[in-house]
Structure 1
């Protein structure tokens, strides 16, 4: 009978944690606007599109 070998706990946790990263389009997120507010951890963050079409997130 072959001995039972336990997998390394870190390797098992890493294999279970692998999920595809969720992707959303900025156009869909902004819904035609150039600015939105995001509530996170009791704080409000502002995401906006700049004149150079870059995204800026500020607290």
Structure 2
């Protein structure tokens, strides 16, 4: 049976360090007490709103 091939520990550590965590923000801080806001992205305006069922909807 051939020996198991292990990843190089230094390369594995470098790969872990290169990954940046995804930024997280609460919807409450984003909405600032409102139920709707507009987001401009690449020249287009999108509307983010909280529905009656407390879901988020993003529309163009």
For 1:21 and 1:34, locate their aligned partners in 2 and report how far apart those are by CA, in whole Å: 24
Q: Root-mean-square deviation (CA), in Å?
A: 1.6
Report runs of 4+ in structure 1 exceeding 3 Å deviation. Answer: none
For 1:44 and 1:25, locate their aligned partners in 2 and report how far apart those are by CA, in whole Å: 21
| 1:26 alignment partner in structure 2 | 27
Structure 1, gaps ≥5 residues long: 1-10
What are the Cα deviations for residues 12-49 of structure 1, in whole angstroms up to 9, with x where unaligned?
xxx33x11000000000000000000000000000000
Structure 2, gaps ≥5 residues long: 1-10
Matched pairs, number: 46
TM-score (norm 1): 0.72
For 1:45 and 1:19, locate their aligned partners in 2 and report how far apart those are by CA, in whole Å: 27
